[in-house]
Chain A
Amino acid sequence: MTPELGQLALILALMLAVAQSVLPLIGAWRGHRALMAVARPAATGQAVFVALAFAILVWAFVHFDFSVQYVAANSNLQLPWYYRIAAVWGAHEGSMLLWVLILNVWTVALALFSRQLPEVFLSRVIAVLGIISVGFLCFILFTSNPFGRLLPMPPDGADLNPVLQDPGMTFHPPVLYMGYVGFSVAFAFSIAALLGGSMEQAWVRWARPWTNAAWGFLSCGIVAGSWWAYAELGWGGWWFWDPVENASFMPWLVGVALIHAQAVTEKRGSLRAWTILLSLFAFSLSLLGTFLVRSGILTSVHAFASDPRRGTFILCFLAVVVGGSLLLYALRAPKVAGGKAFALVSRESAILIGNLMFTVAAAMVLLGTLFPLLGDAFNLGKISVGPPYFGLLFPLLMLPVVVLLPFGPYLRWGKSDTPMLKQVLVRAGVAALACAVVSMVFVQGQLKAIAGVASAVWVGVGVVLYLVKRWREMPRGRRYPAEMAGMLLAHLGVAVFLIGVLLSESLSVTRDVRLSPGQVAVVGGYEFRFDGVTQAQGPNWVAEQGVVTVTHNGSPVAVMHPQKRTYSHEQVQTQSSIDPGISRDLYVALGEPMDPQHVEGAWALRLYTKPFVRWIWGGGLFMMLGGFVSAGDRRFRVKREAEQAQTVSSTLQESRA
C-alpha cells in the first residue's frame, strides 16, 4: 500500500506546486496580497509531500519491498542498509526524486530566511521555483515513476551497480544536486527581477549568499565525484572530461563567473545585464547537465538507462524554461548600462576578464561535450574530442586568470593606482621565480612541475601578501570580514589545486607489472613487494585480496590490500588500495591472475606513485570552504532591512562604494 501513498504524495505535491507557481505570480501582477500570501504555505506543503514520497521510497528500500520495480532493480537482500539508502538515488527515477526534494529544501530555506524581502519580489521568486518543480514533478510522474509495481514480486532483487557501492558515491549525488539546484535560487531572483522590472542592486545582494552556498556545494560534489573516480575506477585518474563530469563542471565554471559578477553589480551597480545573464546561464547549464545525463544522448562511462521519451520531455522543459527566460531577458533586461564607470586598471576590469575566461571555458567544454552530436548532425562520422582538446584549451583559457589572480584583492573599484600593483608583481614574481629555480633540482627538470610550483607560489604569495596587508592596516575585528575571508580561502584553494594538478600530472609514475609472491617492483623510489593473494569477504561480496608491502629505502611504509571483488550478482569490481599522504599517494590496483587456475601464483598488478595528488581535492575543498564562508557574511543578512527601506523610498541607486 505504501508505494501508492508515495505516488499520491507526489500528485498532491504537483498540485501544490502548480498553485505555488500560478497564484503568487497573478498576485504579484495584480497587487493582490492574499494571492501572494499563497507562496509560502504552498511551498511548505509541497516540500512536506515530496519529503513524504522520498521517505516512502527509502522505507521501501530499507524493508526490501521488491514489489516496487525500482527497489527490485537496485537492491537485494545482501545489500547493507547504508547502501540500500544510497540506492534510493542510485538510478534514474530515485535521483530525479532527490532532485525535486533538494529543490524543495532550497525553496523552504529561502521562504524561511528571506522574510525581509519585499513581498512582491519574494512571491515571484517562490513562484519561479514552483514552475521548475512542476516540470520535474511531471517528469517523474509521467516518465520516471519510482513507485511502479512489479508483479509477481520477485523473492530477491538485482543489485545496486557495484561501482556505486562506495562511501564517496553515497553522498556525491546529494551534494552535487545541492549545488546544481542551488543555482535555481539565483535564477529565480533574476527572473523575478526581470518580471518586476526593478533593477535595483538590492536583489543582487539578496541573491549573493545563495549563489555562494550553491557554488560551495557544487565544488564539494565535484570533489567527491573526482575522488570517487580516483579511488573506485582503478585507473588512477581523477578527471576524465567525461560528458557527465563536464555536465557538472560547466555550471561550476559559470558559477565562478557569476559569484564575481554579482559582487561587482552589488557594490558598483555595473554589469547588471551580465549578472542576470550569468544567473540564467548557470541554472540553464544545470538543467542541461541533467538533460545530458538523463537523456542518454551522449554515451559515457556513466551508462545510465536512456529513454527517448525522457529525453524529449526534458528537452521540451529545457526549451520552455531556458528559452522563456532568455526571451524574457531579451525583452526586459536593463537597456542602459547602469552603475559607475570604471577605468582600464580597476577591479571591475580584472573581474570582467576573469568572467570572460570562465564563460568561454564553459562554452569550450559545452562544445567539446556536444562534439559527437555535431559529428552525427553534419555526417562527419563518429567523432569525439577527449583530453587532448580539453587539456590544451582549458589551461590556455585559465592562464590569464592565474596571472591576474594575485592582483584581484589589491585592485580598487573604479580606478586603481599602479605602484601598489607593481609591488605585488615584484614580490610575488620574485618568489615564484625563486621557487621555480629551486624546484628544478627536485623535479628532474619537468617543465610542467616547475610551472606548477611557480604558478602556485605566484597565487599563494599574492594571497598571503594581502592577508598581511589587512592585518597591518585594519583594526582588530575588521581585518577579515567573512566575505573577504571566503574570497581569500577560495583563491588559496587555486594555489593548492595548481600544485596538485601540475605536480601529480608530471611526476606520477605508473607501472604495470607481473609479480609472483615474494617479488619486488620498484616504482618512484618505493619498493612494492607482492605477498600473494588471500580470500576476503564482505556483506555482499567475496574478494581476492592481494597483500602488497611497501618499503622506502628499507623502512616499512605501508601494507596495502587491493581487492578484486565479486558481488552477489557476479559483477566484478576492482577495489584499489591507496596509501594517502600529503606529499604523495601510493596506489595499487589488482589486475588478473596470470593463470586463472592458480590464483596463488603470479598476478598482474598496477602500481602508482602520485606525488601531491591529494592537493587537487584539497584545493577544491578550500574553494568550497570559501564559498560557504563568504555566504555566511553578516552583511548579507543584517543590512537587508535598511536596504529594503531604501529600495522602497527611492529607486535611485545606492551610493555605497
Chain B
Amino acid sequence: MTRLVPFFGFALLAVLLGFGIWWNSAHDPTAVPSPLINKPAPAYVLPKLDDPARMVSKESMLGKPYLVNVFASWCFACGEEHPVLMAESKSFGIPVIGYDYKDDPNDAKTWLTQHGNPYDTVIADQSGHTAIDFGVYGAPETFLIDGKGVIRYKRIGPLTPDVIEQQLKPAIEALQKEAP
C-alpha cells in the first residue's frame, strides 16, 4: 500500500491542477477583487462635460442606482467598448453616467459627437484626482452604485456583451429586487 502513496499524492495534485484550469477559464486570473465592493462610493463633486458650471455630486445622485462608466477619448479600449455601450446602455434601465477621465473636454466632446453618446450625463475629471479615490486603474472601468451610494459591482476593462449578460445585468436585477 505504501507504494501507492506517491500515486495518490499525484492524483490529488492533478485534481488541484485541473481545478486551476477550470477556475482560470471561469474567472479572470488577473482580476483583483476591489476593496471598494460593498463599500460606500467616495464622495465626489465633478462638473458636467457639456456645462462645466453645473456640478454632479454623490449626494445629488442618491436615491436610485446608477452606473458609472470611466472612459476617455485617448483610450483605445474605450473605442472597442463604445459600440457595445451604444447598443446596450438603454437596456440597463438605470442611468448611465459617463466619467471622462484625464481628458481634454474638447477632445471628449468631439469623440462623443463622432461615435455617439450612450450616456445620460457625462461628468469630467480632468485632473484625475477623484478617480484615485475610486481606485481607477485606467479606462475603461465601470462601477455600479446603488441608491444608498454603495459600490455593488466593478468591472476593470471594457464591457463586452458576455460580461453585460453574465455579470452586469444580473447585478442590476439583484439591486432592483432589493429596492422596495
Contacts and interface: CB of A to CB of B under 8 A. Distances in A.
A296 B29 contact: yes
A22 B10 CA distance: 26
Given A296-B29, A326-B7, A377 B14 contact: no
Interface stretch (B17-25, B47-55, B94-102): B17-25
Contacts of A306: 24, 29
A374 B16 CA distance: 8
A97 interface: no
Nearest to A299: B29
Given A323-B11, A333-B3, A382 B32 contact: yes
Interface size class of A (residues with CB under 8 A): 20 to 34
Contact of A295 (B14, B21, B30, B32): B21
A330 interface: yes
Interface in A324-373: 326-327, 329-331, 333, 370, 373
A297 B4 CA distance: 27
B23 A376 contact: yes
B180 interface: no
B63 interface: no
Interface in B1-41: 3-4, 6-7, 10-11, 13-14, 16-21, 23-25, 27, 29-30, 32-33
A297 B33 contact: no
Interface string A257-293: 0000000000000000100010011001000000100
B10 A322 contact: yes
Contacts of B13: 370
A319 B13 CA distance: 10
Interface size class of B (residues with CB under 8 A): 20 to 34
A458 to B, nearest CB: 35
B18 to A, nearest CB: 6
Contact of B21 (A312, A323, A329, A370): A312
A185 B178 CA distance: 64
A297 B20 contact: yes
A182 B41 CA distance: 56
Nearest to B25: A308
A443 B19 CA distance: 49
Q: Among the interface residues B3, B11, B16, B29, which one has the most CB atoms of the partner chain A within 10 A?
A: B3
B14 A318 contact: yes
Contacts of A382: 32-33
Contact of A315 (B17, B23, B29): B17
B3 A381 contact: no
A486 interface: no
B33 A370 contact: no
Contacts of A323: 7, 10-11, 14
B19 to A, nearest CB: 5
B3 to A, nearest CB: 4
B138 to A, nearest CB: 17
B26 to A, nearest CB: 10
A311 interface: yes
A370 B16 CA distance: 9
Nearest to A376: B23
A331 B6 CA distance: 12
B3 A330 contact: yes
Given A326-B7, A330-B3, 5 more contacts: A331-B3, A370-B16, A373-B20, A376-B19, A376-B27
20 contacts: A295-B21, A297-B17, A297-B24, A297-B29, A299-B29, A311-B20, A312-B21, A315-B21, A322-B10, A329-B3, A329-B6, A330-B7, A370-B13, A373-B16, A373-B17, A373-B19, A376-B23, A377-B16, A381-B33, A382-B33
